[in-house]
């Protein structure tokens, strides 16, 4: 179940460039004995433990189902037992460590099915659902729902194209699932306490100790696979209760405050216990190799992500101290053989997060910041060189999605075109192209829509009148409290930049012209004061600028293109620095636009 702490951590880091170490522990050899069953507890979410910068936000969309109401997959508050924050250091066992195709749909992947039947004691809602993401670059989820019968029974049949992570959703509760073709399991829990009572068992497999002894060698392949599926999902539930729901094993809120040595001791202690937990269960139960690889990678890259993000996250959270200085050996983990390119970790989202963070860190080591014009092209080029195998296309796609939002539109277009070299089956290109098309009109470097508006003095101005100057646009209304609060700050800011190559254009969306004109004249508001004659937030101008509310601020470069569609507010102390850094930035982007093909 997802913790608000993790959501907070991701928000803090955003797409932060993280420091990078890695776990000196194994991530390569994931070969474990396959043996038999496992118990239960609360559901697990890898997301709670990850403090890595954020991936694209989940958006539940498409639907498929047996009858439905509409439960939304959502995070569940963690009810964790407390354990000592800084556990004694322990060392974990070492682990194993061109032709451009036309854009056409990839060949359909053969689909199988996973079946969940079950019964809920005292149901408190009318449906259950399973949510799964079929593409790591597509934030949308496919949701399969089923109504709960009068006796608390339900049945879900989920199409799957291979082994996949999913979420089981019941009301506000979310539990992790691991599904594949042939999964056929029974789900039981109490409606008032899913997290504490959730249990899985295989359908149509002999039960009872004596029966198991008699039939162990006589199970069919299908029955054995069902047993493995139940074991895997019970393991996830138990691991969630043991580690994810226990704040003592989490970086936030307390352990992030530790200094370097005790923080590393904490991480190593946690990793040691997670690996022992996994190996103990895999020795007693039967897991499929795919699931063991996935579970092992989650442990390995949980450690790696938390160690990687420590320095940046601590700086954000512990604001009473400056950035912590780290020992030179802290990042030696990055040299672990096989750490970056681990085929057995492909299904782990934590592995993807680590690779993205590693790229950010490496580019930052080259003295590039996110605000630099060539940050995203440099990230893309580095990932194309360092990464191999199917994960490379995923990470390049993640970098593109960041560039679509925070990079220059022409650079993004060039990288997107180059991306086809890494996606010959067109698994991701169509998704990325749709994302680019949706965002390109307001990306850095996109032309700001021109307008012609009347001023408070009766003149008319166009945006293009100010080409050659930096333009700060302020969309506001006289009836909005936040807008009125910012008036004093706006006046002060305009005075600070008097005589500089910047114009402040304040665009009122008021329906009442007289009230607007009176406020402008009585307060003697500085800057260019204009008004949209009619329509307010429904006007053509509001639609051209995709305005949803006021106040909204935008920075337009000297060349008439967007520099920032979400600059600091007029009342922010950081607004002055941001504006100072924006002078001439449009031309800096223009000179950095060339993007060479990365793959010949």
CATH of the domain at 559: 3.40.30.10
183 domain residue, yes or no: yes
Evaluate if residue 295 carries a pLDDT over 70: yes
436 and 502 within one domain: no
400 domain residue, yes or no: yes
List, in order, residues 6 or more apart from 89 with CB less than 8 Å away.
264, 265, 268, 269
381 and 282 within one domain: no
Q: Provide the pLDDT confidence category of residue 533 given band limits of 50, 70 and 90.
A: very high
Rounded CA-CA distance 118/368 in Å is 53
**pLDDT value, residue 218:** 80
392 and 271 within one domain: no
Closest CA to 255 of 240, 268, 241: 268
211 domain residue, yes or no: yes
**pLDDT value, residue 111:** 81
465 and 418 within one domain: no
Tokens, residue 154: 């339900």
Structurally, the chain folds into a number of domains equal to 3
Question: DSSP label at 561?
Answer: B
Range of the domain at 551: 452-591
**pLDDT value, residue 110:** 62
Rounded to two decimals, what is the model's pTM? 0.79
55 and 177 within one domain: yes
- Domain's final residue, options 285, 300, 317: 317
Interval 539-580: pLDDT, tens: 999 999 999 999 999 999 999 999 999 998 888 888 999 999
Cα-trace Rg, the chain = 27
139 and 242 within one domain: yes
337 domain residue, yes or no: no
Evaluate if residue 496 carries a pLDDT over 50: yes
**pLDDT value, residue 285:** 84
DSSP SS3 for 534: coil
Q: What is the mean pLDDT of residues 344-367?
A: 96
Evaluate if residue 179 carries a pLDDT over 90: yes
437 and 481 within one domain: no
467 and 437 within one domain: no
Interval 24-72: pLDDT, tens: 333 333 333 333 333 333 333 334 544 443 333 333 333 333 333 333 4
- Domain's final residue, options 258, 282, 317: 317
Closest CA to 198 of 180, 178, 176: 176
531 and 568 within one domain: yes
353 domain residue, yes or no: no
146 and 290 within one domain: yes
Interval 411-465: pLDDT, tens: 999 999 999 999 999 999 999 999 999 999 999 999 999 999 999 989 999 999 9
359 domain residue, yes or no: no
Rounded CA-CA distance 542/555 in Å is 16
Evaluate if residue 594 carries a pLDDT over 80: no
Evaluate if residue 79 carries a pLDDT over 70: no
349 domain residue, yes or no: no
The enclosing H or E element of 4 equals helix 4-13
**pLDDT value, residue 570:** 83
269 domain residue, yes or no: yes
Closest CA to 46 of 307, 254, 262, 296: 296
**pLDDT value, residue 213:** 46
Share the mean pLDDT of the chain: 83
Evaluate if residue 22 carries a pLDDT over 60: no
Closest CA to 266 of 298, 232, 231, 306: 306
Q: What angle do CA 379, 252, 54 make, to 5 degrees?
A: 30
470 and 437 within one domain: no
């Amino acid at each position: 179940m997802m913790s608000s702490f993790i959501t907070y951590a991701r928000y803090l880091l955003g797409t932060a460039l993280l420091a990078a170490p890695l776990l000196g522990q194994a991530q390569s050899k994931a070969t474990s004995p396959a043996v038999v069953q496992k118990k239960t507890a609360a559901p697990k979410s890898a997301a709670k433990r990850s403090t890595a910068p954020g991936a694209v936000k989940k958006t539940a969309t498409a639907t498929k189902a047996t009858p439905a109401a509409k439960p939304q997959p959502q995070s569940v508050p963690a009810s964790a037992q407390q354990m000592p924050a800084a556990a004694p250091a322990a060392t974990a066992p070492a682990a194993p460590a061109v032709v451009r195709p036309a854009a056409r749909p990839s060949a359909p992947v053969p689909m199988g099915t996973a079946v969940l039947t079950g019964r809920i004691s005292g149901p408190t809602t009318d449906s259950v659902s399973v949510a799964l993401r079929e593409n790591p670059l597509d934030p949308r989820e496919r949701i399969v729902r089923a109504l709960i019968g009068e006796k608390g029974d339900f049945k879900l049949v989920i199409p799957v194209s291979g082994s996949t992570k999913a979420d089981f959703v019941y009301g506000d509760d979310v539990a992790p699932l691991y599904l594949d073709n042939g999964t056929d399991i029974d789900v039981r829990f109490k409606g008032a306490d899913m997290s504490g009572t959730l249990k899985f068992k295989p359908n149509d497999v002999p039960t009872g100790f004596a029966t198991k002894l008699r039939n162990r060698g006589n199970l069919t392949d299908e029955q054995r696979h069902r047993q493995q599926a139940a074991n895997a999902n019970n393991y996830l539930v138990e691991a969630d209760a043991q580690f994810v729901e226990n704040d003592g094993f989490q970086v936030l809120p307390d352990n992030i405050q530790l200094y370097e040595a005790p923080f590393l001791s904490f991480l190593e202690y946690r990793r040691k216990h997670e690996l022992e937990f996994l190996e103990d269960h895999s020795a007693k139960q039967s897991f499929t190799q795919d699931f063991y690889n996935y579970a092992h990678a989650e442990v390995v890259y949980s450690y790696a992500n938390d160690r990687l993000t420590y320095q940046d996250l601590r700086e954000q959270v512990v604001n009473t101290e400056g950035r912590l200085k780290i020992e030179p050996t802290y990042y030696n983990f990055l040299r672990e053989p096989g750490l970056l390119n681990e085929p057995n970790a492909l299904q782990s989202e934590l592995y993807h997060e680590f690779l993205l963070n590693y790229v950010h860190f490496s580019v930052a080591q080259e003295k590039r910041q996110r605000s630099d014009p060539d940050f995203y092209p440099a990230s893309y080029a580095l990932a194309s060189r360092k990464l191999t195998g199917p994960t490379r296309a995923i990470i390049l796609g993640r970098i593109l999605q960041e560039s679509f939002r925070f990079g220059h539109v022409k650079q993004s277009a060039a990288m997107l075109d180059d991306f086809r070299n890494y996606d010959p089956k067109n698994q991701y290109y169509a998704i990325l192209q749709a994302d680019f098309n949706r965002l390109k009109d307001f990306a850095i470097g996109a032309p700001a829509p021109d307008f012609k508006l009347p001023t408070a003095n009766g003149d008319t101005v166009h945006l293009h009148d100010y080409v050659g100057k930096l333009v700060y646009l302020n969309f506001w209304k006289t009836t909005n409290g936040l807008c009125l609060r910012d008036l004093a700050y706006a006046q002060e800011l305009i005075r600070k930049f008097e005589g500089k190559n910047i114009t402040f254009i304040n665009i009122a969306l008021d329906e009442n012209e007289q009230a607007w004109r009176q406020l402008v004249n009585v307060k003697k508001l500085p800057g260019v004061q204009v008004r949209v004659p009619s329509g307010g937030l429904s006007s053509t101008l509001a639609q051209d600028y995709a305005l949803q509310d006021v106040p909204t601020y935008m920075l337009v470069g000297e060349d008439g293109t967007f520099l920032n569609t979400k600059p600091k507010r007029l009342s922010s102390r950081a607004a002055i620095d941001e504006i100072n850094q924006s002078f001439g930035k449009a031309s800096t982007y223009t000179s950095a636009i060339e993007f060479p093909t990365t793959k010949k």
